[in-house]
Amino acid sequence: MQTILITGCSSGFGLETAKYFLEREWNVVAAMRTPQDDVLPRSDRLRIVPLDVTDPESVRRAVEAAGPLDAVVNNAGIGAAAPFEVTPMETIRQVFETNTFGTMAVTHAVLPQFRERKAGVVVNVTSSVTLKSLPLVSAYTASKAAVNAFTASMALELAQFGVRAHLVLPGRSPETPFAQNGRTRMQGLDNEAYAELVQGFMGSLTAPGPVTYSKDVAEAVWRAVTDPASPLKIPAGADAIDWARAA
């Protein structure tokens, strides 16, 4: 029976992906910054481990507790939505510490076992905003674009060992509070000069049109993990697929 480690499983895409793999008879190690026992169905194939991807010791302990792995999904991330001019450098560093360096840290910790076994899959969840530029998410987009570039290069390094690396790029989701949380994190930091742009951005979060559902992301991750013919980049959700075609 195969085992997968998924980060950021307390809600949203990570939670849905953990459920998806459990339903398909995988062993799931669900990593959460603050573990919650009641968000996932009870199962003998489920383990919940604490993991703060910005803490090297936490990463080491989580990967050690997970044991032998067949796949890892780096899904944990945070957002920040505000004009770049008023975004504090401290916030920018926090976004990169979680989204970029956190992803790299977990990947760094699992690669030795994948290389030694000559098998394993790394799936990094980034964002479709790396395909189409949007305002107010410059720091977030940069943090995810860095993961895209790092993953593409790493995939070339790992191919000789039979280890694969893929990117899943979700679009806008009405099912998760991610975008709203990113906006809340920046509350009170706006400049009046950007008021109209901010108002338009908030409206776009609930505007009609193609969107991404959590199951779209879970299905994309499943494809990346189980199909060796999967491309490097897999858009997840109707809007992300549209953006990928236009890119």
3-class DSSP state of 142: helix
DSSP 211: -
Q: Which two tokens stand for residue 161?
A: 């060992």
Burial string for 28-53 (b: 16+ CB within 10 Å, else e) reads: bbbbbbeeeeebbeeeeebbbbebbb
Give the separation between CA 74 and CA 104, rounded to whole angstroms: 9
Instruction: Give bridge partners of residue 233 from the DSSP assignment.
Output: 167
> Are 56 and 105 contacting, i.e. CB atoms less than 8 angstroms apart?
yes
Backbone angles phi, psi at 205, to 5 degrees: -65, -25
Closest of 76, 79, 77, 97 to residue 186, by C-alpha: 79
In the residue annotation, 140 being an active-site residue is answered as yes
Instruction: Give bridge partners of residue 168 from the DSSP assignment.
Output: 125, 234
Residue 175, Cβ density class (10 Å: 0-12 exposed, 13-18 middle, ≥19 buried): middle
Q: How is 61-126 classified by DSSP, letter by letter?
A: HHHHHH-S-SEEEE-------S-GGGS-HHHHHHHHIIIIIHHHHHHHHHHHHHHHHT--EEEEE-
Point out the residues that are catalytic: 140
